Structure 1
């Protein structure tokens, strides 16, 4: 290669020489930094500082608030009717719920918090936190009058002398001729299922209770503390609404709904007697839950 060509490759312009010098200096600085810096040094952040601890407490408290907000809200309920899902949401131990189911399967009832504790065996901590939401029927929580009965067949009593049907015990009901252990328990079970009787006429809905025995029962008992019930306007209620009435099947509810719709409304509840299956006696029972407007 001619000498002149070799020299041309080795000669740099002024700007090129400046660039080479800058790159060389940068490489030296980076190498010096790499070898002189201890990258294993611990973070300068002090997690134990008071400010960090304070912020962590705030985060923890907000987390607890969120957890509480996500918990299902508790409302008063009758512990006799706890379902699998209800037991789960209440944090009730499985074995305790099984004992409650077995107890209820015998046709027996929980009447107070202490009964619930004995039957289920739940812990004191659980019962103390949940029992304030227990709601028992009024006739359970009211003190019961101490009546002495003898087997009575046809004795009539005045209203004041009669026993409130909503607090009557099985033993008291058995003093009526024609009511034994089975029927007395069936009356109480039906009463509890309703949440309490609203009217004496509801005795006719109890399976196996004849009209004659109902009449004898009404001579000694009557409803003095009627349960308030939701009343439906028969002219605007849906079939689903009507089917919630005790003694009214969904099929009968549909017949009532269609009967009212075809007539564009009715003016008296007695018109419902025209429907097959609704007798005067049955109408007396279902009209406790109906009105016309």
Structure 2
């Protein structure tokens, strides 16, 4: 029995010369790894360079950049004469500012507001934000017109009292109207409309309460001649303010029944309020002919629009808004987590978090505060 056990033990632990060499080599390798781990752990790596000054300078640069972004704002400017220093404080993407200065250096001039749209990199969204701040004096246009026969010279800005029933397009532009607003007002008059009180301007598409409040001190509605006075026997059309109206108010409008009234209120809740009457066409199933029939009965108080705080809003709050898609929300939250809070609305566009069309829709509903 003992011999049997010994034979088994000897046979199990009997190694050939090659096996013994392999065991020795493996033991040496394990020993070297263990020794190397101990030695490396005790080595102190002293960097040859001190990066603390560089890190400190970078942090100061970030603080300065944030401060500069916060100081930028929108203000009236002449694109033909604004200095580089003044333009630097204007809230617009830096590459467009550089392109504007390069265009001027090459001899380019801006004869009218729409010419700024030609600057490389300028898109519809950015132009719509700055259009009302562009001021090109009539004197500059007159000088340019010497080289361009037939160029219409705009009236010199006076910002004087005007009558919306008689003012021409140039007078409206000089009072602060943009091209879109002035054209809509004139079209309204040409279709037979008139203004009996200053508040009537709110029925013009493109004129909201913010713009109206900025110009109402210049509005002087003269008494209408007898031939165009409103017939006192004819009922004055009702006006409904969309952001404060309830279902009973909406039911007074032609073509609006309980179903559409309910849909309008639900969509208004999802949006946070309407900033334009045209948004009614986004209501599910809302007929275009109904919209045109009630358009003149509607006004918009954009001050009632509820803003989304993109630096604090969570996923559920953002995705609830009709203008935000899932990929936009995820991109915004990821950017905020990796880069900190947004300093301006335009970062959504310049960082590629949202496309131009979506940005134009969502901008009235967001704030960085």
Q: Give the structure-1-normalised TM-score.
A: 0.32
Bigger CA radius of gyration: 1
